[in-house]
Amino acid sequence: MSRTRLPALTPELQVSDLQASLTFYQQVLGFSLLYQRPEDGFAAIALGEAALMLEQIDQHARPDDPWTVMPLDRPLGRGINLQIDVADLQPLYQALLANDVPLRLPPETVDYRTGDSWVRVRQLMIQDPDGYLLRFSQVLDH
């Protein structure tokens, strides 16, 4: 049996509607499905070298469920944004516009200091159907 290896750090996002999230991530953002466990309400997806796990929120979870620290109030993922590197931001931007996805942060070019050097990126940010912040970033040549 072949095993799909995920990156060493792969966030798992609890989602309110797994099928709606899969549709959004695959059809709008261009992620591919790595594998899924429908019986568990679970899917692993990837875009380039980035990977995410999506898990359907269990409405009947026990109050002492170790996987849920606090009530899952919307928007989910408060306090974190997930940076996802892409080779070319423009096709993604066009797909977002074509699908009327609101931009939390419109495309911008920013220089970030990385130790003793600088990197220039073109980035934008959206929220997924559950409110998770997704920042897509393309490294530019100086």
Residue 1 confidence (pLDDT): 40
Q: Is the pLDDT of residue 2 over 60?
A: no
Q: Is the pLDDT of residue 4 over 90?
A: no
Q: Which residue has the tokens 């109030």?
A: 73
Choice between 141 and 125, residue whose per-residue pLDDT is larger: 125
pTM of the predicted model, to two decimals? 0.90
Peptide bond into 75 cis (omega under 30): yes
Identify the helix (H) or strand (E) that includes residue 93: helix 89-98
Residue 142 confidence (pLDDT): 63
Residue 16 DSSP label: S
Q: Structure tokens of 42?
A: 């679970």
Domain 12-60+80-139: CATH superfamily, name plus number: 2,3-Dihydroxybiphenyl 1,2-Dioxygenase, domain 1 (3.10.180.10)
Q: Which residue has the tokens 């959206």?
A: 126
35-94 pLDDT, tens digit per residue, is 999 999 999 999 999 999 999 998 777 777 777 767 778 888 888 999 999 999 999 999
The DSSP bridge pattern shows strands 133-140 and 117-127 to be: antiparallel
Domain ranges of the chain: 12-60+80-139
Closest to 44 (Cα-Cα) out of 15, 100, 52: 52
